[in-house]
């Protein structure tokens, strides 16, 4: 069941940010966007966790959002990561992304300083009040140390601008509780590549994906089959992709996916500290596995 103001259905790629010592490489970013769209991806997320948003300067963050919107030119929705542990900064960034033409916002829970459930409701409500575009809430307690509880989603679902959940808490029972409470008022997207099919079985309509950086068409096919009623075929692809998904998360994201995309020629294997390049033993295993999927690396 999709909401009236659904941003996308299917797979949105949480894009890496190609960069080097000089900063963001916009030629490579443009090539990556074009390739993703050519492969049939349903939407793009710019400046998310996979895009190393936490180490982008404010100028880079805004420039990357503007570039993605302009280069995509309406071919698919562009969702801008505008969350922060500083609500004032998240408000400013959200306002900027709205004016820049992003189609939606991905807003993560505050990290390090965390928040109570009351604080989450207050923060997300303020951001949604200020935004002129729909917002997807991003729940990833393994990174932020705070979980959006089902009761909190139930309250936030009443806001007109809050339209979806990127759910990466991994707790299926909590997600069942959430979906029972929001009663179709929020679109559910998996935030974990290994749970696309399980969450679609609960009413989810897709995934904000890391593995789709590498195999966008195949990842999207998981959703296409499911939506067309081929549940067994969808499950088959979910299981087929599982070894690659595991390899892409054997070190902290986006370390492995950056190595994978560099091997495919889309970027340099350059990450900003404190992230460091993939351990050579793990890299060799990843590249070997990628070849079994027909990738030329």
Element counts in the chain: helices (H) and strands (E): 12, 10
- Closest Cα partner for 206 from 232, 183, 225? 225
Residue 265 exposed, middle or buried by CB count within 10 Å (0-12, 13-18, 19+):
exposed
166 is catalytic: yes
Q: Catalytic residue among 133, 166, 174, 258, which?
A: 166
Supply the pLDDT for residue 265: 97
pLDDT tens, residue by residue, 91-114: 999 999 999 999 999 999 999 999
pLDDT tens, residue by residue, 38-90: 999 999 999 999 999 999 999 999 999 999 999 999 999 999 999 999 999 99
Q: Catalytic residue among 138, 174, 189, 258, which?
A: 138
Helices (H), the chain: 26-38, 58-72, 87-100, 117-130, 141-144, 150-156, 172-182, 196-201, 216-227, 231-248, 255-263, 280-292
What is the CATH number that goes with domain 10-229?
A: 3.20.20.70
Supply the pLDDT for residue 48: 97
Residue 1 has pLDDT above 60, yes or no: no
240 is catalytic: no
pTM: predicted TM-score of the whole model, two decimal places:
0.97
């Amino acid at each position: 069941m999709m909401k009236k103001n659904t941003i996308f259905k299917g797979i949105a790629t949480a894009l890496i940010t190609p960069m080097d010592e000089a900063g963001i490489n916009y030629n490579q970013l443009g090539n990556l966007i074009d390739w993703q769209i050519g492969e049939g991806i349903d939407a793009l997320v710019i400046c998310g966790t996979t895009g190393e948003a936490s180490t982008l300067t404010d100028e880079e963050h805004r420039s990357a959002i503007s570039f993605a919107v302009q280069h995509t030119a309406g071919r698919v929705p562009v969702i801008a990561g505008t969350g922060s542990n500083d609500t004032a900064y998240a408000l400013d960034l959200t306002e900027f992304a709205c004016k820049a033409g992003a189609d939606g916002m991905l807003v993560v829970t505050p990290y390090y300083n965390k928040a109570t459930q009351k604080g989450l409701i207050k923060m997300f409500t303020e951001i949604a009040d200020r935004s002129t575009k729909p917002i997807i809430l991003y729940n990833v307690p393994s990174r932020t140390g705070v979980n959006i509880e089902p009761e909190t989603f139930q309250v936030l679902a009443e806001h007109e601008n809050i339209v979806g959940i990127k759910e990466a808490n991994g707790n299926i029972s909590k997600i069942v509780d959430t979906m029972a409470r929001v009663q179709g008022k929020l679109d559910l997207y998996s935030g974990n590549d290994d749970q696309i099919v399980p969450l679609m079985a609960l009413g989810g309509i897709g995934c904000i994906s890391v593995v789709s950086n590498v195999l966008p068409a195949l990842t999207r096919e998981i959703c296409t089959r499911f939506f067309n009623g081929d549940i067994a075929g969808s499950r088959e692809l979910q299981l087929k992709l599982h070894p690659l998904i595991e390899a892409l998360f054997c070190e902290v994201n986006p370390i492995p996916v950056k190595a994978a995309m560099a091997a495919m020629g889309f970027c340099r294997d350059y990450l900003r500290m404190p992230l460091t390049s993939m351990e050579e033993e793990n890299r060799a295993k990843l590249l070997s596995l990628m070849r079994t999927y027909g990738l030329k690396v």
